[in-house]
Amino acid sequence: MENKIIDGKHISDLVKDELKVKVEDLKAKGITPGLAVVLVGDNPASKIYVGSKKKACQYIGIKSFSYEMPNEVSEKEVLELIDTLNHDPAVHGILVQLPLPAHIDEQKVLLAIDPSKDVDGFHPMSVGSLVVGAEGFVSCTPAGIIELLKRSNVDIEGKHCVVVGRSNIVGKPISMLLLKEHGTVTMCHSRTKNLGDIVKQADIIIAAVGVPKLITGDMIKEGAVIIDVGMNRLDNGKLCGDVDFDACIEKASLITPVPGGVGPMTIAMLMNNCVISAARLLEENIIDN
Ligand code: NDP
């Protein structure tokens, strides 16, 4: 059973170590990648996420700039900060930790980020670039899933990929990425009829729903690869995925656990986007000179 598990923690550590080397190289060429992290309010989960991102920056050698704003800060002040960061040459990536307090329009804030610094990949320009296959930042969780599949030697081309969930941050972008890798993609959501029958046809299943153990053992085709994005906090405090892990591992050829699967890859890919952003700047400078 052990060798069926895709170890996201191990793979994310490999990615981070590779990035460390790239950052050393960039530093030697005069550029220190910089990530600005904007946190509004005191949401405890957001504070934990921001803390993990800063820790990863420190490990890799990325300079992190932290901006903590009180819950009652105005939308105008947040937009002014984004504008300052857009023009700051030491900042190569801007991350606004979501969710924002209700009085701040999330879309307006995301739209204000310069797409060349949109390392979270949530700007409509980044999303559009993904759809048309142009250069742009890919949001971190979907990018992490592709990395997990590739590093586990899963061939996506021609495979039937069933994505359960159609959110803007996971379901839609991962579907586009699987399509780019020449998968045959089916998207399912809460109105899908006969979910089990569709999932049963999948060679690769991506579950991004937010419902604990929605994907059961009887929905799995023998040999399927299962990527569980779900992170559901149960009443007993434990984290649980969208997949019934114990029942599905029997039939799966590969499966991600929760925790320790997709989760660690999200931060690693954020770091990757930040390094890409700094490296692009270096390339532009070389071309300009
Ligand atoms: P959303 O709530 O934004 O989207 C959930 C999607 O699941 C919707 O498209 C919804 O359909 C669909 N859905 C809900 N119930 C069912 C059902 N019974 N059958 C089929 N489809 C259903 O969630 P996110 O995409 O943001 O997150 C999904 C999960 O992934 C969550 O557990 C979240 O915590 C986790 N997550 C983990 C990350 C990580 O780094 N590991 C990062 C991001 C998310 P409809 O559109 O019709 O409403």
Nearest CA to ligand 1 atom 25: 167
Residue to substitute in 46, 189, 227, 244 for testing ligand 1 pocket (most ligand atoms within 8 angstroms of CB):
189
218 is an active site residue: no
Query: What is the domain partition of the chain in residue ranges?
Result: 23-116, 140-264
pLDDT of residue 231: 95
Q: 179 burial class (0-12, 13-18, 19+ CB within 10 angstroms)?
A: middle
CB neighbour list of residue 248: distance below 8 Å, 6 or more residues apart: 215, 216, 217, 220, 226, 255
The angle subtended at Cα 177 by Cα 106 and Cα 173, nearest 5°, is 20
CATH of domain 23-116: 3.40.50.10860
Q: Distance (Å, rounded) from C-alpha 227 to C-alpha 205?
A: 6
Q: β-strand 184-188 against 160-164: which pairing, if any?
A: parallel
pLDDT of residue 289: 59
Are domains 23-116 and 140-264 of this chain identical in fold? yes
Consecutive 10-residue averages of pLDDT for the chain (289 residues): 92 98 97 97 92 96 97 98 98 97 96 98 96 95 98 98 97 98 98 98 98 98 98 93 98 97 97 97 74
279 Cα to the center of ligand 1, angstroms: 33
118 is an active site residue: no
Within 10 A of 184 (CB to CB), how many other CB atoms are there?
17
Selecting from 3.90.1150.10, 3.40.50.2000, 3.40.50.720, 3.30.1490.100, what CATH number does the domain 140-264 have? 3.40.50.720
* Tokens 């906090």, residue located: 233
2 Cα to the center of ligand 1, angstroms: 27
Strands (E) located in the chain: 34-40, 63-69, 93-96, 160-164, 184-188, 204-207, 225-228, 232-233, 239-240, 254-255
CB neighbour list of residue 246: distance below 8 Å, 6 or more residues apart: none
Cβ atoms of 18 and 24 within 8 Å: the answer is no
Cβ atoms of 115 and 125 within 8 Å: the answer is yes
Cβ atoms of 252 and 265 within 8 Å: the answer is no
Sheet holding 93-96, edge to edge: 63-69, 34-40, 93-96
Cβ atoms of 112 and 82 within 8 Å: the answer is yes
pTM reported for the whole predicted model: 0.96
**Residue 191 Cα: closest atom of ligand 1:** 47
Q: Distance (Å, rounded) from C-alpha 274 to C-alpha 262?
A: 19
Residue burial 87-97, b: 16+ Cβ < 10 Å; e: rest: eeeebbbbbbb
